[in-house]
Chain A
Amino acid sequence: MKTILAYVKQYKPLVFFACFFMIADCVCELIQPLVVAKIVDEGINGNNGAGDMSKVVLYGLLMIGLSVLGFILAVISVRCASKAGVGFAANLRDGMFRKVQTYSFKNIDGFSVASLTTRMTNDLTIIQNTSIMCMRMLMKAPVMFTCSFFAAVIIKPTLSTVLIVTIPLLIVGLVVILKTASPRFAKMQKSVDDLNSDVQTSVRNVRVVKSFVRQNFEKEKFKKYNDNAMQASLNAINVVILNGPLMTLLMNGTIIAIFAIGGRLVTVGNMQIGDLTAYVNYINHILMSLMVLSMVFMNLTRAAASVKRVREVLETEPDLKDPEFVLKDSVKAGRIEFSNVSFKYNLESKENILTNISFTANPGEVVAIVGGTGSGKTSLVQLIPRLYDVTEGNIYVDDVDVKDYNMKDLRNSIGMVLQNNTLFSGSIWENLRWGKLDATDDEVISAAKAASAHDFIMSFPEGYDTYIEQGGVNVSGGQKQRLCIARAMLKNPSILILDDSTSAVDTATEAKIRESFYGDFRDTTVIIIAQRISSVMSADKILVLDNGEIIAQGKHDELMENSEEYRDIYYSQMEREED
């Protein structure tokens, strides 16, 4: 809870004021019945039954005054509560966003994108609404309860024995209902989730459903989920609706009991009739406030789930730390050396993703990595900018262990194009300048040219000002890849890593991009992962990866001679008659 409460710190005074004014408003509200009693007793009934008009007007005006005061107090309280509640949520949102920015790749992998987004949006809204509601009601209910309780006790302590019986009964009843209901609600939630996921699958798979003529099958299946959901909802709701009758039963029972006992007291002259009615009034307040509390409590349990999910985000510690002593603050030459590197994403898992990887890439060299899906290519290159830490062994960049660089310095020297290219909403200018914020237009254009992107950009009516939609949906796959390469090239990095980033680019254009490795980027060490064998044939060194191990390395010709697997890949793509 501490993690979360830190975000409300700034609003402590506001929370205090919200509660204070709310309590004041509450007091106004509690005084009003007394004023009403005065209007009747001293005004209309006053003057020994003859009536006293001046008192009626006096107390009437007092009541209007109290209402206006109550209104002002309530507005101030609402103002403070809204400001604090919204502010708390905004702080929390900001805090989460900042936290996520510190995440390592491993942390990010731990959450799915959808789940992280939901936590920062929906869960946050729930927390915000609940906290505002709490400030308004959670405080009010106990104040109401306490004041009314004491008022009742002061009026007639003996009558309050009734309360000693009913209040515990009420609380026990509420607890039992909530306890019984909550697992049923969980079941209900699950059945609703099942229902939704069934709809989703069948909507997404509509072509499969239709081509196998399974509409009736799907309808039957849906009916089952639909009926289950209804049953589960009824199971849960049927418990909760006992809440109301229980309340009414106890409330009315208490009133009757008080009349029964109080009637005797009034008759024998031990109590005034006015006090009895006032007493009943306060009993009503007490029970109402308990009801409100139970409602708030229900909402709190719902919010608790959200708080938990938000806390998980906030309390996740990034597992990569900058070194205490930085040995080097930038990469110059771009020499890469893997020395006996083993790696697995999860330390508990038995199997390594990479085992005993050793190789060297000299400055300016082009090193290609080939291998089937799941052979560990992507994992291997992600270790270079220290997106993950190795499990065993060492990686040296310019002869310094990557762990001895500040991550920022290291990553700023490395241009990397990830397998899942992402462009962001904004113009092409803005997207490319991710590589270098202060790049001149000429620098941007020359990077675009090196990535063979300039021509197609110019073919757009708005050229470099073309607006890229979220996720880059308005450019083709090949164009997207080239923009991402240009973005990385603009960094003018010492090391350039392309992870399967040219798969949608035609071979001719790809060849042009490759040429730039030996032109503008001749001093840059290039690591390239590719499916297409033609993309790697000209590399200075090719690593063949299988099941996390380097099973062969060398130039194309050497590998064709020595490596069975390499030949296998080669022939799977080349003419079959060569078999």
Chain B
Amino acid sequence: MSNARPTPAGRGRGPGHGPGPRPTIIQKPKDLKTSVVRILKYVGNNKILLISGLVCVILSTILGLVGTSLMEPVVDGITKSAVEYAKAVNLNDDVAKELALSSGLTTLFKNLALLATVYVGALVTSFLQVKFMIYLSQRTTNKIRKDMFDALETLPVRYYDTHTNGEIMSRFTNDVDTLNEALNHSITSLFSSAITIVGTLILMFSVCWPLAIVTLVLTPLSFIVAGFMIKRSSKYFKKQQKNIGAVNSYIEEIVAGQKVVKTFCYEDRVTEEFYKRNEELRDTATNAQMFAGMMMPIMANINNVTYAIIAMFGGCIALGFLPVNVGLTIGGLTVFLNLARHFGRPINEISSQYNNIITAVAGAERIFDIMDELPETADKPDAVEITDFKGHVIFDNVTFGYNPDKIVLKNLSLYAKPGQKIAFVGSTGAGKTTITNLLTRFYDTGEGSITIDGVDIRDIKRDSLRESIAMVLQDTHLFSGTVRENIRYGRLDATDDEVEEAAKLASAHSFITRLPNGYDTMIEGDGENLSQGQRQLLNIARAAVANTPILVLDEATSSVDTRTERHIEKGLDRLMKGKTTFVIAHRLSTVRNSNAIMVLEKGEIIERGTHEQLLELKGRYYELYTGAVELD
């Protein structure tokens, strides 16, 4: 298991981040269709929002187009009344002047009132559309996150052992964020662009079909150029990505070892090495940024060229220089040019949204991967629920490997009675922790069986089995919350008195009462405000409040000094009273007073007996004890 940090990149992306340069590396989804269908299923939970949103998109787009075309009567009306007014001025007819002005203004205001209504309609619908889509995307991602977390909770420990924390975290941060952005923005944007294109085309054809065809012929030009640019820039972006990786990992490595750098006076050397990497990044990043930055002006200017060509063609047609007679008027040409001017925008939009959507789907696929992982095998239908184990634990000829081709435990047999303390010693990889993984059914045994009070653990409901076993692990992980809440994690319905009782048993009470807020002191970030020993005491208290018949101590005291260990041991001794206890330890002083010590090597018990017996044996344990061999 690695403790890789989650990548903070992409966190907190809110709306309104500008059209800054976007990386053009696109991760392609493996199965676009299936994943899209699955995303849509999630979206479908909010059908009403989606439909209302899409209706609003259609309405606001159409109203927008209508608004543009309504400008014409306004301008025409003004022109007309101006002409009439001028006539009246020429005739020096004051009455006619007044009449022309008032009738002109009446028409104008009528037209403007209509325009204003359309504007308001467009405003309201587009606002509603944004609102609907935001609720849609937030609710959808909320549900996806919940489902992903719920799925995560059902996954076997094997999954966690084979995936880094960073990997899992990045599903919750980056992938969900991109998906959210795509749902929120890309869908409607794509939709509205499509409607705009279709609407514009219809209007164009109705105004002048030959010009419309010219426009259609010219449009692919921008696509070809864009495609070429994307290809070039993605090459540079890949290089940039590689160099960023090199620089960042160097920073990480050196900063993490900064103190070593200082003690060896190595500052100049690392600076020089860093400089080299940074310069390489400078070169590639410049190129990558340049290509990304050129996209916008290129597209805009291609648009302008297209526009000019259409204007020239239009002029030819209107003036009759071309053998097509479609009766293109000047007003018509103005409308057409207006339409052509804005024709490029939805096309650019579609190509950029396409990239976003593809990236989002690829992210969604990784999310679905988590949901599709096989959960822990279900309990057998006739599995029993047992709440009052006595604690007779028998391993009978257990053989197990994490991979079928690599056996970790071989023919392991042992019998632990209630109240006994069984210890396992051996080097890393000898299979000590595997034993507890099997006992708690984090992994299921391959061959042989494990029974508690004579019942095979595979025939016991997994939850009731685990509730009968309390574990204290080496990695003293705590949860954010108060000290009391952390202890109560062992048994949620424990009263305050019971919590304190458990803390006393674990010798944790005295230090807790000395904390600024006693039992209500907040644990910050995995307990950074406590010492290693104190954290371990809280873990023991947590196990104590659970009050289970079976106890597992996996390197519970490895990270504290020997005197602190002795202090902790007093608590542990009280905790172990009357329970079947399994102890895994590195330090032999910890296991000395066990009822039986098992020396494990390569998955097999090579020696077993009490401390004294094993010393007499003068075998492996003796060597370990006298320090002749390295335990690692």
Contact = CB atoms under 8 A, between A and B. Distances in A.
Contact of A203 (B169, B248, B253): B169
Given A219-B149, A260-B112, 9 more contacts: A36-B337, A40-B333, A70-B301, A94-B274, A120-B251, A214-B492, A237-B15, A241-B134, A507-B627
A408 B289 CA distance: 41
Contact of A572 (B81, B258, B563, B626): B563
Contacts of A210: 157, 440, 442, 466
Contacts of B223: none
B311 A241 contact: no
B148 to A, nearest CB: 9
B266 A434 contact: yes
Contact of A83 (B16, B286, B304): B286
B289 A200 contact: no
A117 B251 contact: yes
B386 to A, nearest CB: 14
A234 B561 contact: no
B309 A60 contact: yes
Nearest to B171: A199
Contacts of B154: 215
Contact of A245 (B81, B123, B278, B305): B123
A233 B266 contact: no
A516 interface: no
B142 A230 contact: yes
B267 A101 contact: yes
Contacts of B262: 103-105, 387, 411
Interface string B325-351: 000001001100100000000000000
A117 B255 contact: yes
Given A60-B311, A295-B16, A373 B564 contact: yes
Contacts of A223: 146
Closest 3 CB pairs of A and B: A507-B627, A506-B630, A74-B297
Given A105-B262, A116-B255, A470-B253, A273 B79 contact: yes
B36 interface: no
A373 B78 contact: no
B172 A478 contact: no
Contact of A86 (B131, B248, B289, B589): B289
Given A219-B153, A412-B265, A208 B629 contact: no
Nearest to A251: B119
A256 B289 contact: no
Contacts of A170: none
5 contacts: A185-B12, A192-B11, A227-B142, A245-B126, A373-B561
Nearest to A58: B312
Nearest to A575: B592
Given A56-B311, A273-B75, A373-B533, A199 B126 contact: no
B378 interface: no
Contacts of B75: 273, 276-277
Interface string B282-299: 100111011001100110
B513 interface: no
A132 interface: yes
A71 B109 CA distance: 42
A120 B67 CA distance: 50
Q: Is the interface of A mostly helix, strand, loop or mixed?
A: helix
Nearest to B333: A44
A150 interface: no
A485 interface: no
Contacts of A85: 289
A25 interface: yes
B628 A204 contact: no
A263 B78 contact: yes
Contacts of B415: none
A108 B266 contact: no
A82 interface: yes
A296 B18 contact: yes
Given A197-B480, A240-B16, A277-B75, A234 B138 contact: yes
Interface in B240-262: 244, 247-249, 251-262
Given A67-B308, A260-B112, A269-B82, A209 B153 contact: yes
Contacts of B244: 125
B445 to A, nearest CB: 17
B614 to A, nearest CB: 14
B592 A572 contact: no
Contacts of A82: 286-287, 289-290, 293
Contacts of B403: none
Interface in A175-215: 185, 188-189, 192-193, 195-215
A298 interface: yes
Interface in A245-260: 245, 248-249, 252, 256, 259-260
B172 A196 contact: yes
A64 interface: yes
Contacts of B578: none
Interface stretch (A396-404, A418-426, A548-556): A418-426
The B contact surface, by secondary structure, is helix
A259 B316 CA distance: 32
Interface stretch (B357-365, B470-478, B497-505): B470-478
Interface residues of B, number: 163
Contacts of B315: 39, 43-44, 51, 53, 56-57, 60
A211 B85 contact: no
A214 B489 contact: yes
Contacts of B542: 212
Contact of A60 (B116, B312, B467, B628): B312
B385 interface: no
Given A114-B5, A120-B251, A573 B562 contact: yes
Q: How large is the interface on A (under 10, 10 to 19, 20 to 34, 35 or more residues)?
A: 35 or more
A505 interface: yes
A82 B150 CA distance: 45
Given A36-B337, A86-B286, A196-B173, A226 B294 contact: no
A2 interface: no
B31 interface: no
Interface string A14-33: 00000000000100010010
B146 A222 contact: yes
Contacts of A195: 145, 172
Interface in B161-191: 165, 168-169, 172-173
A90 B280 CA distance: 10
B329 to A, nearest CB: 10
Contacts of A229: 142
B546 interface: yes
B511 interface: no
B256 A118 contact: no
Interface string B107-143: 0110010011001001100110011001100110110
A203 B564 CA distance: 29
A192 B309 CA distance: 51
A268 interface: yes
B255 A534 contact: no
A196 B285 contact: no
Given A53-B319, A230-B142, A424-B253, A240 B294 contact: no
A21 to B, nearest CB: 11
A476 interface: yes
Given A40-B333, A267-B101, A32 B312 contact: no
Most chain A beta carbons < 10 A, residue from B21, B105, B533: B21
B469 A196 contact: no
A374 interface: yes
Interface in A386-418: 387, 408, 411-412, 414, 416, 418
A202 B150 CA distance: 12
B138 A267 contact: no
B62 interface: no
A51 B319 contact: yes
Nearest to A414: B263
B406 interface: no
A226 B142 contact: yes
A212 B466 contact: yes
A506 B628 contact: yes
